[in-house]
């Protein structure tokens, strides 16, 4: 993995980047072997310069993730490639008295024509803002994954996971899912995302990762409830299945073996990030 601290566009740095990408893809393919679906590798380019996104794109990489809406909007302008798919994986913090500015940012984000998914939605309020912000000329509904806090860590964003249908019936997670399906025609409820705890990603690979198991359980419960409401058929997920976005540099192979549909790899491809 990269140890370089500079992200200047030198031939050496470019070679290192493409090597990292190639190695990540080999591991990704190997870990996906036993899956019956074709998972997606999202290259998390956050804090990295646009030339790196272009270089990976030229190697065939299509999905890229950013956790800052401002960086995503700026990079999308700079890179300007139609068949690239952007994933927003960050949180837009709410600060008092800044609602209008925040709504403007959400509008700018949804105006990115190749924004493919927002993986980090956690509130009905934001779903409504996104739904009304989406430009009229957008061709397909915007994919939404709901972020779930599977580790219970207070510093992690995300909605509480659910274990049973009784528990789920009253949960913010289920309510948000139903709200999108029933009231947000420009959004598509596609699946669930988790970050998980670092402890779990570093734990022995001989036992299942608890965050991934928790997300799968939550998915099973939600899928069961949505499926029993036949009026909602075809209005959520992909082919009647909710997608799981779980696995990052430290644990994407474990995520894939656990059945993930989307993994998000930053450091493993782009190298270490400098602290802000
Ligand atoms: C930064 C980030 C990643 C990538 O993390 P790495 O450990 O660098 O692979 C994945 N998902 C989210 C939500 C992130 O913010």
Nearest C-alpha to atom 12 of ligand 1 is from which residue? 89
246 in the Ramachandran plot: left (φ > 0), alpha (ψ -120 to 50) or beta?
beta
Architecture of domain 11-270: Alpha-Beta Barrel (3.20)
Show the ligand 1 pocket: residues with CB < 6 angstroms. 44, 46, 67, 89, 195, 248-250, 264-268
Q: Which of 28, 43, 63, 89 to mutate to test the pocket of ligand 1 (most atoms within 8 A of CB)?
A: 89
Q: How far is the CA of 133 from the centre of ligand 1 (A)?
A: 26
Sequence ranges of the domains in the chain: 11-270
Indicate whether this model's pTM tops 0.85: yes
Instruction: For residue 2, give every residue at least 6 positions away whose Cβ sits within 8 Å of its Cβ, in sequence order, or none.
Output: 16, 17, 20, 267, 270, 271, 272
State the 10-residue block means of pLDDT for the chain, 276 residues long. 72 97 98 97 97 98 98 97 96 88 96 97 98 94 98 92 96 98 98 93 84 98 96 94 97 97 98 81
Nearest to 246 by CA among 219, 227, 272: 219
Nearest ligand 1 atom to the CA of 67 is 15
**Hunting for tokens 């409401």 — which residue is that?**
229
């Amino acid at each position: 993995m990269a140890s370089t601290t500079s992200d200047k566009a030198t031939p050496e740095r470019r070679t290192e980047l493409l090597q990292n990408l190639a190695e990540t893809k080999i591991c990704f393919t190997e870990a996906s072997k036993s899956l019956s679906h074709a998972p997606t590798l999202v290259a998390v380019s956050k804090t990295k310069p646009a030339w790196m996104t272009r270089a990976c794109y030229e190697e065939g990489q299509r999905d890229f993730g950013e956790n800052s809406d401002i960086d995503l909007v700026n990079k999308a302008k700079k890179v300007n490639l139609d068949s690239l798919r952007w994933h927003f994986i960050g949180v837009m913090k709410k600060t008092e008295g800044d609602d209008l500015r925040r709504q403007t940012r959400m509008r700018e984000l949804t105006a990115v024509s190749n924004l493919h998914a927002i993986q980090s939605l956690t509130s009905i309020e934001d779903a409504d803002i996104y739904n009304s912000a989406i430009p009229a000329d957008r061709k397909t509904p915007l994919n939404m994954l709901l972020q779930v806090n599977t580790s219970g860590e207070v510093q992690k964003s995300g909605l509480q996971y659910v274990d049973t249908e009784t528990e789920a019936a009253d949960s913010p997670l289920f309510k948000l899912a139903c709200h999108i399906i029933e009231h947000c025609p420009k959004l598509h409820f596609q699946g669930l995302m988790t970050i998980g705890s670092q402890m779990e990603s570093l734990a022995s690979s001989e036992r299942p990762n608890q965050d991934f198991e928790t997300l799968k359980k939550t998915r099973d419960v939600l899928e069961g409830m949505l499926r029993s409401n036949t009026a909602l058929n075809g209005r959520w997920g992909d082919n009647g299945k909710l997608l799981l976005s779980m696995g990052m540099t430290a644990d994407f192979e474990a995520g894939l073996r656990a059945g993930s549909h989307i993994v998000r790899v930053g450091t493993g491809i782009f190298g270490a990030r400098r602290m802000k």
